Copies of this chain bind each other. A is one copy, B any other.
């Protein structure tokens, strides 16, 4: 994502970034609630949805109206996958996110658990939530991480088929991934230009970092 934005800007596009759980309104509440480990899946889902709604209406929609391309590092599909793994009714989750704008292009960086584990260990390490410890899948964080992420990945793969994600093999080096991302974005923009669509431009979602 950090490499995609400057490239798009050099190509002459206005670009706006947005993440997940970055809304000033709720970031603190979500962090507090996580610290207490006492959220049920319904509350958890609704908090994330409120956070997302806040970002959508204060960042994403205004940026689109201003003619920017919005790069969203994770979008509602992250909630779809997580909620389902945590046991929420998938139909309900989709209804809750019924207000969301459907992205023009979703780039899915697919990875398997075997390749994910070393990257997480080299990075910030395994944390409580990313390891699904709240689901009591195991007392060992490593084992829990593997089980939880395996379920999440299966969910993302199913969502990818359902919503037509463009899948990019994320087991490869950063350069190769970035090259693929740019190719897909450039192809999308070229086809959008041919359709000569007026503003607002397009939203790009990327469902795994």
A interface residues, Cβ below 8 angstroms from B: 25-26, 28-29, 32-33, 38-40, 42-43, 46-47, 49-50, 53-54, 56-58, 89, 92, 95-96, 98-99
Contact = CB atoms under 8 A, between A and B. Distances in A.
Contact of A50 (B32, B47, B57, B98): B47
* Chain A interface main SS type: helix
A56 B46 CA distance: 13
7 contacts: A26-B29, A29-B29, A38-B58, A42-B53, A42-B99, A43-B53, A47-B50
Nearest to A28: B29
Nearest to A61: B40
Contacts of A42: 53, 56-57, 99
B95 A98 contact: yes
B95 A99 contact: no
B46 A25 contact: no
A43 B54 contact: yes
A12 to B, nearest CB: 31
- Top-6 shortest CB links A-B: A46-B50, A95-B95, A42-B53, A43-B53, A40-B57, A29-B29
Given A92-B98, A96-B95, A53 B57 contact: no
Contact of A43 (B32, B43, B57): B57
A43 B99 CA distance: 10
A86 to B, nearest CB: 13
A43 B33 contact: no
Contacts of A38: 58
**For A46, A53, A99, which residue has the most chain B Cβ atoms within 10 angstroms?**
A46
B46 A46 contact: yes
A73 to B, nearest CB: 20
Given A40-B54, A43-B53, A46-B96, 11 more contacts: A25-B29, A25-B33, A29-B29, A40-B57, A40-B58, A42-B53, A42-B57, A46-B46, A49-B50, A92-B98, A95-B98
